[in-house]
Amino acid sequence: MPAAIRVLRLISSPRGAESESLRLSHQVLDGLAGRHSLEVQDVDLNDLQHVDRDYAMALASPSDSDQAETGSARQRSAELIRQLDEADVLLIATPMHNYTVPSTLKAWVDHIVRIRMTFNGTPQGKVGLLRDRPVYVALASGGLISGEQARQPDFLRPYLQAALATVGLKNMHFFCVEGTSRGEHALLEARAVAQSQVAAFFSVE
């Protein structure tokens, strides 16, 4: 029997089990499970500390020592990078907050986009050091961000694409449940549309 693929799922909504992005991520897991056996590691980002002065000073120095105090932001950064490096698939469950990623997910990005560990700076620009792998983003937005009826900007998808490409992750796929604040009927329709997108993707991938 083939080895299970390791899925790292990031949970960034403060709504917990009631989160639409978490619900959508379950459907992505179902799609993956139709093709592979899975080992899923969940990381709730809501308690993640932000980077601190020690972290910032280390990154600004010519060499970033591996030595970090227990419980420090640098130690947490190294742990998060290790989790990501060991995963075969990255699954991000996130709402859109004020047109972009919530601060919880931004904190994770700040921890894993780390010079000399996940990317190198070169005269030609930043070069990612991590191997590429599938990244699935289960996104929930209160308003509409796609199609002719979209009335709000979307900085979340281009930001994640740029940030993760910096470390070498470019194989990205987005699934969206949009208009979650437009009433129960619209929400049910949005869920059905998102579910059909996921099902269609995994039926032909």
Tell me whether residue 69 is annotated as binding.
Answer: no
Tell me whether residue 63 is annotated as binding.
Answer: no
* Contact residues for 191 (Cβ-Cβ < 8 A; gap 6+): 20, 23, 24, 177
Q: How far apart are CA 69 and CA 41, in angstroms?
A: 25
46 SS3 class: helix
**Tens-digit pLDDT string for the chain (205 aa):** 567 999 999 999 999 889 999 999 999 999 999 888 999 999 999 999 888 888 888 777 766 555 566 678 889 999 999 999 999 999 999 999 999 999 999 999 999 999 999 999 999 899 999 999 999 999 999 988 888 888 889 999 999 999 999 999 999 999 999 988 888 888 999 999 999 999 999 997 5
Name the one residue in this structure whose structure tokens are 């619900």: 23
Task: Please give the single-letter amino acid code of residue 84.
Answer: L
Contacts 24+ apart (CB under 8 A), 47-50: 48/76, 48/104, 48/107, 48/108, 48/111, 49/73, 49/76, 49/107, 50/107, 50/110
Q: What per-residue confidence (pLDDT) applies to 114?
A: 94
- What are the two backbone dihedrals, phi and then psi, of residue 84, each rounded to the nearest 5 degrees? -65, -45
Tell me whether residue 181 is annotated as binding.
Answer: no
Q: Which domains does the chain have, with CATH numbers?
A: 5-203 (3.40.50.360)
Q: How far apart are CA 199 and CA 192, in angstroms?
A: 10
Q: Which two tokens stand for residue 92?
A: 């991000």
Q: How far apart are CA 20 and CA 140, in angstroms?
A: 6
DSSP state of 13: -
Tell me whether residue 21 is annotated as binding.
Answer: yes
